[in-house]
Amino acid sequence: MKKILALLLITFLLNSVSAVIIKAPAVSLTDKGYIGVPINIQINVTKGNGHVFMDTMPLTELDMQGSARIAAKVAGEITGKDMNRYNTYIVVRSDVPVVGGPSAGGTMTIGIICELMNWSLNKHVMMTGTINPDGSVGPVGGILEKIEAAKKANCTIMLIPKGQRYVDVNGNKVDAVEFGKKLGVKVIEVGSIYEALPYFTGKKIVMKEYSENPTIEKKYKSIMKKLSENILKLANEKYENLSKKLNASYVGYGYQKVLLNDLTNSKTLLERANDEYLKNKYYSATCSAFNALIKLETIEHTLKYLTGEEGVKTFLTDVQDKISCDKKIVYSKNITTNNFEEILAGRMRIAEAEELLDNAWKSYYLGDYDEAIKYGSFAKMRGDSAVWWVSLKEADNNSEVINESKLKPLAQQYLDNAETISTYVETLFPNLPTDELENDLKSANKAYKSGDYLLAIAKSIETCVKAEVPLVIFGDIEYSKKYARNKINLAENLGITPISALSYYEYGSSLNDTISKVMYYKYSSYYAQMDIDVVKELNKNSNNIKNISSEIDIVTNEEVDGKEITSKENNVGIIISAIVGGLIGFAGGYFARRASA
């Protein structure tokens, strides 16, 4: 009983003294409409095993819980802390019911960082903005009401998401900066937690930047050059053969026009692929040539169907047999420290080929033979690409064969992350179609349960990327690009050749469409992180890998908003910690003496 009392006393002292307390603006619905209100958030971080606990009063919506988990993850990455070794406790209190909760995500991230680093906060700063997994700050509603909340909390600086300075009010644009001035609140736009942190702490954590590894970059180029050469050769030969065959055949005006148009489109793709190859953009060239191949494969089997040379059912049966053979090849490969990424890519493509074939059979049984051929052709080529990927590297007898069960904890971690982010996005965007996300999650769960942990990781990444695009689509695309490139460089610094990450980065940089660019930069950063995580998981009980991801650059006495804010106030935190330590020691000693008496 005395031991329990001692523990309770220690817990009380830690929670009441060492906790970070930060204010956030919220919106409450009243009889007079929406008003801004400040809420109090208390944050404690203790040694633990990765849990995030939340206590809210009044009850908030599920989106705040999703924000809290992402906030903890981002805070860990920014500070270089492994959050699997900590538990995070968040207590939210408000005098009135608040509407929604994701807008406190950025604030919670700041609070967790300060708790992890034992930094004190400037109580005159407030922030609103959702938190995205890459550390960027996302848009929110109720900007003007939240500026009013900052005024009520006696805050002089209000941070809002970048791009939200001008607020639409009944068709009129209101300048949030000017609105804040009238209230004595300076409104500042920030795009990421890195930008926001100095205003709260007077300290700036600089994203640790890593340089490219020329040797690995050269190795990547060599691998992808060979792949693009093979696919370009295959596509160019197929185009020449089909051009002759289509010109020598006639299948009716309508079909002839469609097929000739598809042939022209495939030629355009091939010209782009050849141009990209000459510019050393080998993955981009591979993608363009592969898309041309899908069109050419469709033309070939449509022509065979129309001329009576091949039945649709026979074609789909052949494709099914071909994919079964491809799958055996992909899954017969040993997973090693040298090829795990290529095996993952191959398994992912086999899974996609099987999904495409299912769609082909559905179209066939619905009597839509044209669609059946399109899906079947795509499925066949996707199966071929799976074999290409697992054959990218020569067998390396020096590479360690991986027991896939070692990746089970990592697969579970990626699956949990995918579920958190997808739920978060669904609550933020309730009208957004989520069928694809749900299907990807089901596939990830299915792969995990069957012990296919690499595929579970890949499907989880697929879910995360698709879910995150709506979060960052209106954000700073250069931030996403820089974030991805830095992840790639970090992987290279660990001696990894991040083929998928480099490929997606290259392809994203070659696109003009903003949504597609963001998506491929996301794929790039996720796959680079996956490479890092896999290598660390396999070496977690050894010293074979350099632990550089925990290094961070901290700049103190940072000049923020034209005013130098020093870190003197942090001495208070140190003094308080010393007092708490003394009290804990006294309490522990007292009860120990009583127990031994």
- Catalytic residue IDs: 103, 146
Q: Please list, in sequence order, all residues whose beta carbon lies within 8 angstroms of the beta carbon of residue 278, skipping any fewer than 6 positions away.
A: none
d(CA 391, CA 134): 32
Planar angle of CA 181, 185, 188, nearest 5 degrees:
90
- Under a CB-based contact definition with an 8 Å cutoff, are residues 158 and 147 in contact? yes
- Under a CB-based contact definition with an 8 Å cutoff, are residues 175 and 451 in contact? no
Strand (E) or helix (H) holding 59: none
Tokens matching residue 550: 């925990």
Residue that has been written with the tokens 């795009």 in this structure: 191
- Under a CB-based contact definition with an 8 Å cutoff, are residues 37 and 26 in contact? yes
For the CA atoms of 52, 90, 103, 533, the dihedral, rounded to the nearest 10 degrees, stands at -30
Angle, helices 214-247 vs 369-390, to 10°: value is: 150
d(CA 302, CA 384): 19
Residue 505 Ramachandran class (φ > 0 left, ψ -120 to 50 alpha, else beta): alpha
Planar angle of CA 77, 80, 82, nearest 5 degrees:
80
The CA-based diameter of the chain, rounded to the nearest angstrom, is 104
Q: Please list, in sequence order, all residues whose beta carbon lies within 8 angstroms of the beta carbon of residue 216, skipping any fewer than 6 positions away.
A: 492, 495, 496, 497
Residue that has been written with the tokens 């052709």 in this structure: 377
- List helix spans (H) across 279-311: 282-306
Number of H helices, E strands in the chain: 19, 15
d(CA 106, CA 34): 22
CA-wise closest residue to 245 among 316, 306, 322: 306
Q: CA-CA distances (angstroms) from residue 347 to 327, 388, 477?
A: 8, 11, 30
